[in-house]
Copies of this chain bind each other. A is one copy, B any other.
Amino acid sequence: MEQSYTHQEILDLDRVFRLNLINSVTGFKPAVLIATKSRDGQENVAIFSSVVHLGSTPPLIGFIMRPTTVPRQTLEYILDTKYYTINQVQESFIEQAHYTSAKFEEHESEFERCNLKASYKDGFHAPYVEASQLKMGLKLEQTIDIALNGTILVIGSIQHLYVEDSCLQSNGRLRLDKLGTVAIGGLNKYNRVEEIAEFPYARVHELPDFNL
């Protein structure tokens, strides 16, 4: 049976029900850990599901930040230092990754409290999550305030990319499923993923006959 909600009915829902439901409606979301380090050496890492591809030439990635919620150090340290890392989350450390969202004190490192190891590579300022099979070092390019609801789009360019090469195909495509990367559903559901189809670049003259 189909359940329907109007805009007003969504606003009238119980708050937690609404948060759960509306966080699910866009479909599966990427699971990444964003890691930063303050100018005086405090390491920080937090889970995000709001990462979005912006372009390949140059390689630009965005993520949405809600400044009033838990991972506020992430934004503060990015604005201060200009550098951060994005690390894909694999099945082997989903629970540690999830708990980075707890409200730790500013002087506490989520790396330590959640038993994630930080690693440094090629002289980059921000730490990487060592367990991650795909890690990127980014440089802040721009922040854009979204006045509608006080969120911020943070845009960075990829400076370094590290990936386990057994999952990298000769045409540049990645078997994220073989890497063990997970997808997030809603606020707290973690999902294993299995590739079921790969279609060619869509050309009109190669259209399959869908009207059989």
Contact = CB atoms under 8 A, between A and B. Distances in A.
Interface of A: 1-7, 10-11, 13-32, 49-62, 64, 66, 86, 88-89, 91, 94-96, 98-104, 113-115, 122, 134, 136, 141-142, 144, 146, 148-149, 151, 153, 155, 157-166, 168-169, 171-177, 181-183, 185-204, 207-208, 210-211
Given A25-B86, A102-B207, 15 more contacts: A4-B161, A7-B159, A10-B161, A14-B172, A16-B172, A17-B171, A24-B176, A25-B61, A28-B29, A55-B151, A58-B149, A94-B197, A148-B155, A173-B186, A192-B193
Given A94-B197, A160-B5, A28 B208 contact: no
A141 B7 CA distance: 14
B102 A204 contact: yes
Contacts of A166: 1
B171 A20 contact: yes
A81 B165 CA distance: 46
A91 to B, nearest CB: 7
A137 to B, nearest CB: 9
B207 A188 contact: no
